[in-house]
């Protein structure tokens, strides 16, 4: 393939595509076949590296959304939520690929990982750090509107933007929850539960993390709403 003189960017690679996307560096970031303990190291690395990239993107959008919310710009913040959800969904869906590895083949891959542990995932750690900031701003906005959560849900058409923000937070929380549960099943299917991970953490600890939620108040508000409806019906 001949690359015409119309390539204008500097950098490694023959074309502007390769130079801008930095494919030379990117495609060199996976272990080489001659060093593989098992050929599924490629599968394993591609899933993890792409997850880290999506989580990097997700975190950037969450940080930007917090900035918007600080200025009461709810709609511009809301536009960023589908991006965050999709990024987490891609991480969730790419776990399917890991289940293409046989448990025995994964035991060979595992030998290459040293003490590498998902607890040290920069992507997951940064998104977990960023998400609570969204909740802080939501609470501030809710208080400024003189609303509690039950009233927000009851009067949702009056406070459309704040309501949509509450639902976006719940969905984000749910997507993180779905990833965690899916990951837990992948771990169970790959190495079992009554063992320790590469850093010596018993896998059963992951089961305890499964019940974690970022916005418990938003989930509890559903119960409060049901009780509110029951009380209201009793009055009539
Ligand atoms: C075959 C696939 C996988 C296996 C067997 C696996 C195994 C484990 C194990 C055993 C732990 C417990 C801590 C430890 O000792 O390492 C863990 C935690 C973790 N892993 Fe994975 N993992 C897999 C794929 C992934 C992927 C694709 C990601 C994406 C970033 C990921 C992210 C995490 C995170 C963030 C934790 C911390 C606990 C949590 O947040 O729930 N893992 N993993």
For residue range 153-201, what is the model confidence (pLDDT) as tens digits? 999 999 999 999 999 999 999 999 999 999 999 999 999 988 887 777 7
Q: For the domain bounded by 39-235, which CATH number is listed?
A: 1.20.58.480
20, HSE (Cβ side, Cα atoms, 13 Å): 6
C-beta atoms surrounding 66 within 10 Å: 19
Task: Please tell me the predicted confidence (pLDDT) of residue 203.
Answer: 84
Q: What is the pTM of this model?
A: 0.95
Question: What token pair was written down for 26?
Answer: 């990117």
pLDDT of residue 4: 65
228 Cα–ligand 1 center, Å:
40
What was the pLDDT predicted at 2?
64
Q: Which residues pair with 196 in a beta bridge?
A: 202
Output the six-digit token pair for 221: 């508000």
Specify the ligand 1 atom closest to the Cα of 47: 27
Q: Identify the pLDDT of residue 72.
A: 98
Q: What is the pLDDT of residue 197?
A: 76
Q: Which residues of the chain have pLDDT under 50?
A: none
Strands (E) located in the chain: none
36 C-alpha vs ligand 1 centroid, how far in Å? 21
Distance from Cα 212 to the centre of ligand 1, integer Å: 16
């Amino acid at each position: 393939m001949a690359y015409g003189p119309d390539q204008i960017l500097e950098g490694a690679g023959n074309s502007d595509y390769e130079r801008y996307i930095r494919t030379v560096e990117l495609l060199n970031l996976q272990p080489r076949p001659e060093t593989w303990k098992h050929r599924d190291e490629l599968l394993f690395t591609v899933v993890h590296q792409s997850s880290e990239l999506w989580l990097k993107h997700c975190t950037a959008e969450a940080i930007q959304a917090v900035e918007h919310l600080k200025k009461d710009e709810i709609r511009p913040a809301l536009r960023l939520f589908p991006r965050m959800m999709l990024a987490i969904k891609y991480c969730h869906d790419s776990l399917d690929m890991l289940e293409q590895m046989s448990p025995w083949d994964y035991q060979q891959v595992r030998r290459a990982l040293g003490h590498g542990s998902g607890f040290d995932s920069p992507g997951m750690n940064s998104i977990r750090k960023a998400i609570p900031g969204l909740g802080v701003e939501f609470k501030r906005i809710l208080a400024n509107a003189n609303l509690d959560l039950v009233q927000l849900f009851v009067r949702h058409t009056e406070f459309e933007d704040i309501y949509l923000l509450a639902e976006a937070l719940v969905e984000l929380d749910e997507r993180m929850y779905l990833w965690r549960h899916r990951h837990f099943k992948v771990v169970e299917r790959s190495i079992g539960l009554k063992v320790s991970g590469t850093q010596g953490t018993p896998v059963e600890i992951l089961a305890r993390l499964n019940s974690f939620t970022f916005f418990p108040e938003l989930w509890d508000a559903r119960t409060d709403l049901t009780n509110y409806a029951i009380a209201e019906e009793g009055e009539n």
